Chains A and B, each alone.
Chain A
């Protein structure tokens, strides 16, 4: 039962994130939706790497040989770093949009269409 709890959380976070991205009108809230989606994916990767009773793969003084393969953690770390770069770029776009358009409502950001 509890095994699936992280995966249920992943699904819930994904739904919340997608709903935020699709329905929110404020640009910053859309970006928050993307950040939540990133967290959902990171949680998914981390939960893949969980093994009951496994220990960190540090060979010195290891009490048992049941170690966790650290690949999912490494993937998540990389993904977090990429996520930071993504958020920074998105927010810098929001700053320029605010300066040039005077609004961060996505209904107002429609000059391309004209």
Chain B
């Protein structure tokens, strides 16, 4: 049904299509804005389709290796290279495939949404160019098997994100937020580059599987690990380095904020990939595991307490994003802390990791949905200030329904997807350390309290006279939100199927370092 050519070359195509489409967009935009909308929508739809084809193939046929510049994946190690994979290699295992699914669904929903929400703005050719570049960066980051390539895609992502955060200059305030984000992520990326230099100097390789197979965890490797964890924890917005998140998330256009959430998850993926696939059991799993757990607990608590007093709805949601990132770090951190101890790993380690990984995809869906509803409200009302809004439930019924779905999902109320993943985290973390599970539940309750307040001040109450002529959001925006809401509800109704088919393979792929190495190096 699907041409073999596309299936075989999907890892390359999914990066090439948005990359090429991005740079053609400004030229298409000169013809007419309608054709440009079709062009970028079509490019994103094709990218999503290819990405989903690849993800489906990975889930059904196992880890996919794609070697650039070679005829077949078996040529990963050229015969005359002395056993070093010198070509750039994409290694898409079930964990990467999960991130691909997230990006494909969110990317498509968000572009549908922005075709309508950004219509009245100027500078759209650069908007869509940068948007597609962000997609390129995310897809490349989560599928590459080459650590320098990871850095390159990370930088593509940072540059495009910074440009888009500053896209609505807004009296210079948005530029200020972008500046903060970009200075931090540049310094972080340079730290990663130093770590890459250390790996190269030590192991003579840039391929992650090759480095992993030679990993000795010397002092230099510890320095590199610290640099990478610090940089990527900053990029995903974990607490001691979270201060860019509320600024950048609240100042970017809402559609971009939803994509920034996915971008943060890609950094989180990078963190897990480095810790599990590159270091695995060589590192002091208990210490690094606890480090990640502490980062997670701090993020949860600080994020939610900062969120409660916020007046700006997007700033509030941004602090909640920090708090939810904490859950993922907590779940996967618990899995890491018991790595190498098979009985404990079987007892609750896998469950904790599955919970954390499941929360990644759930978070991308409901948090994206919430930011999109905030954008729809802003489009119609013109303010993010909670004290000025009220009574919108009378006129924006669909937006209200989507907001309720997102808010209940983030608070972990059944039958929405947030409940499924949070329950897995609570159960497993309770067996590891009951105090952590109690903290996680308290944070969840505070989240619910906070969103009840937001819901009340936006939608409830009598119709305000100044918003008398407010209409429902346009159809394309509702469609974009509807896709995400549908996923939130489906994942909440059938968590068993999702966990079994998507999440468990991902968690096992992350733990099984040997399989990751032998896919590239063969045998071993």
Does any Cβ of A come within 8 Å of B382's Cβ?
no
The docked-state distance in angstroms from the alpha carbon of A21 to that of B183 is 9
The docked-state distance in angstroms from the alpha carbon of A69 to that of B206 is 13
| B151-210 with Cβ < 8 A to chain A | 152, 155, 159, 162-163, 166, 169, 171-173, 175-179, 182-183, 186-187, 190, 193-194, 196-197, 200-201, 204, 206
The docked-state distance in angstroms from the alpha carbon of A21 to that of B197 is 23
Among candidates B152, B176, B204, residue contacting A111 with C-beta atoms closer than 8 Å:
B176
Residue of A nearest to B180 (CB): A112
The docked-state distance in angstroms from the alpha carbon of A90 to that of B159 is 10
Q: In the complex, are the beta carbons of B179 and A93 less than 8 A apart?
A: yes
Residue of A nearest to B86 (CB): A71
Please indicate the chain A residues that have their CB under 8 angstroms from the CB of B171 in the complex.
100, 111
From DSSP, what is the main secondary structure of chain A's interface residues? helix
Distance (whole angstroms) from the CB of B82 to the closest CB of chain A: 10
Among candidates A30, A45, A96, A99, residue contacting B193 with C-beta atoms closer than 8 Å:
A45
Please indicate the chain A residues that have their CB under 8 angstroms from the CB of B201 in the complex.
48
Does any Cβ of A come within 8 Å of B56's Cβ?
no
Q: In the complex, are the beta carbons of A86 and B159 less than 8 A apart?
A: yes
Q: In the complex, are the beta carbons of B190 and A41 less than 8 A apart?
A: yes
Distance (whole angstroms) from the CB of B224 to the closest CB of chain A: 12
Among candidates B166, B190, B200, B251, residue contacting A72 with C-beta atoms closer than 8 Å:
B200
Does any Cβ of A come within 8 Å of B93's Cβ?
no
Q: In the complex, are the beta carbons of B187 and A85 less than 8 A apart?
A: no
| A65-110 with Cβ < 8 A to chain B | 69, 71-72, 75, 78-79, 82, 85-86, 89-90, 93, 96-97, 99-101, 109
Q: In the complex, are the beta carbons of A85 and B159 less than 8 A apart?
A: yes
Q: In the complex, are the beta carbons of A82 and B155 less than 8 A apart?
A: yes
Q: In the complex, are the beta carbons of B176 and A38 less than 8 A apart?
A: no
A-B contacts at CB below 8 angstroms, number = 82
Distance (whole angstroms) from the CB of A20 to the closest CB of chain B: 12
Q: In the complex, are the beta carbons of B177 and A96 less than 8 A apart?
A: no
The docked-state distance in angstroms from the alpha carbon of A56 to that of B186 is 31
Q: In the complex, are the beta carbons of A111 and B182 less than 8 A apart?
A: no
The docked-state distance in angstroms from the alpha carbon of A100 to that of B174 is 11
Q: In the complex, are the beta carbons of B175 and A38 less than 8 A apart?
A: no
Distance (whole angstroms) from the CB of A84 to the closest CB of chain B: 11
Could you mark each residue 217-257 of chain B with 1 if its beta carbon is under 8 Å from any beta carbon of chain A, else 0?
A: 00000000000000000000000000000010001000000
Please indicate the chain A residues that have their CB under 8 angstroms from the CB of B169 in the complex.
96, 100
Does any Cβ of A come within 8 Å of B39's Cβ?
no
- Please classify how large the interface on chain B is, using the bins under 10, 10 to 19, 20 to 34, 35 or more: 20 to 34
- Please classify how large the interface on chain A is, using the bins under 10, 10 to 19, 20 to 34, 35 or more: 20 to 34
Could you mark each residue 22-52 of chain B with 1 if its beta carbon is under 8 Å from any beta carbon of chain A, else 0?
A: 0000000000000000000000000000000
Could you mark each residue 4-27 of chain A with 1 if its beta carbon is under 8 Å from any beta carbon of chain B, else 0?
A: 000000000000000001000001
Does any Cβ of A come within 8 Å of B430's Cβ?
no
Q: In the complex, are the beta carbons of A93 and B166 less than 8 A apart?
A: yes
The docked-state distance in angstroms from the alpha carbon of A96 to that of B359 is 38
Please indicate the chain B residues that have their CB under 8 angstroms from the CB of A37 in the complex.
187, 190
Please indicate the chain B residues that have their CB under 8 angstroms from the CB of A78 in the complex.
148, 152
The docked-state distance in angstroms from the alpha carbon of A38 to that of B187 is 9
Q: In the complex, are the beta carbons of B175 and A21 less than 8 A apart?
A: no
Most A-side CB within 10 Å, residue of B169, B183, B247:
B183
Residue of B nearest to A74 (CB): B148
| B92-139 with Cβ < 8 A to chain A | none
Q: In the complex, are the beta carbons of B182 and A89 less than 8 A apart?
A: yes
Q: In the complex, are the beta carbons of B187 and A21 less than 8 A apart?
A: yes
Q: In the complex, are the beta carbons of A86 and B175 less than 8 A apart?
A: no
The docked-state distance in angstroms from the alpha carbon of A30 to that of B180 is 12
Q: In the complex, are the beta carbons of B172 and A96 less than 8 A apart?
A: yes
The docked-state distance in angstroms from the alpha carbon of A79 to that of B186 is 12
| A48-B197 contact in complex given A93-B166, A100-B175, A111-B176, C-beta closer than 8 Å | yes
Q: In the complex, are the beta carbons of B183 and A97 less than 8 A apart?
A: no
Not counting A34-B186, A89-B162, a sample of 14 additional A-B residue pairs whose C-beta atoms are within 8 angstroms of each other reads A21-B187, A45-B197, A45-B200, A48-B197, A69-B204, A71-B86, A82-B155, A86-B159, A86-B182, A89-B159, A96-B172, A97-B172, A100-B175, A111-B176
26 contacting pairs across A/B (C-beta < 8 A): A21-B183, A34-B183, A34-B187, A37-B187, A38-B190, A41-B190, A41-B193, A41-B197, A45-B193, A45-B200, A48-B200, A48-B201, A71-B86, A71-B200, A75-B196, A79-B193, A85-B155, A89-B159, A90-B179, A90-B186, A93-B162, A93-B166, A93-B178, A97-B179, A100-B175, A112-B251
Interface residues, chain B, CB within 8 Å of chain A? 86, 148, 152, 155, 159, 162-163, 166, 169, 171-173, 175-179, 182-183, 186-187, 190, 193-194, 196-197, 200-201, 204, 206, 247, 251
